[in-house]
Amino acid sequence: MTEPIDDALPAPPVPAAPPMPAVPPPVPDVPPPWGEYAAGVPVLPAGTPPAPARAVDPLRGILAGFVAAVVGAVAWGLVVSIAHVSLGIIAVFVGYGVGWAIHRFGGAASIGLAVAAAVLAALGILAGFILGGLLLVAHDRGIGVMDVVGDVVDWPGFVKASVNGLGWLFLAIGAFSAFRLVAQNRRA
């Protein structure tokens, strides 16, 4: 009898896995797809509730605008009394300050708040013109401001003398800047 032939060949040797590198390969320096400056911005996980909306309190905004108008008028009067020059550009600053205060403290803006900002800015600017004129007259006469207030008989004439042609223009620009600031932020 013949012996059975073993058809089994020896198994080929299994190649050894390449050795693992000690240091991972360098990652190419590619900025994230949303921009390199957003890399440090934290991303909120899904399901995070949105931030609460700002409280809407138009009365607080109007009160803050009134305070800004008074502060702007007093600052304008002091600048006029020190420099002896009525600088119309301050009207734009007063208007911007009133608009910012109404926007900041009033919450969500509306056209009504924008109109209130323009009116308050115009009144604050007009008060600044009048206060500056009163302080100049008081300084020139060497008397107190309240004495000047008592001596003024023709208030419309005094206002007309205090606010010249460019003054009315700057008053309009300041009122418009307050209106625009609040109305523009209404869309934000």
Assess whether pLDDT exceeds 60 at residue 117. yes
Average pLDDT estimate for 177-185: 89
Q: How far is CA 60 from the centre of its chain?
A: 17
Query: Concatenated DSSP letters for 28-42?
Result: P----TT-GGGTTSP
CB 140 within 8 A of CB 107: no
Read off the pLDDT of each residue in 94-101 and give the average, rounded to a whole number.
Answer: 94
pLDDT tens, position by position, 16-57? 777 776 776 666 665 555 555 555 666 666 666 766 666 678
**pTM recorded for the entire structure:** 0.67
* Number of CB atoms found within 10 A of residue 130's CB: 20
H or E element: which one contains 175? helix 165-185
Q: Please, are residues 92 and 173 in contact by the beta-carbon 8 Å criterion?
A: yes
- The per-residue pLDDT for 173 is 94
By the 10 Å C-beta count (0-12 exposed, 13-18 middle, 19+ buried), 86 is classed as buried
Encode 36-56: b = buried (16+ Cβ within 10 Å), e = exposed: eeeeeeeeeeeeeeeeeeeee
What whole-number distance in Å separates Cα of residue 121 and Cα of residue 97? Answer: 8
CA dist., res. 7 & res. 2, Å (int)? 15
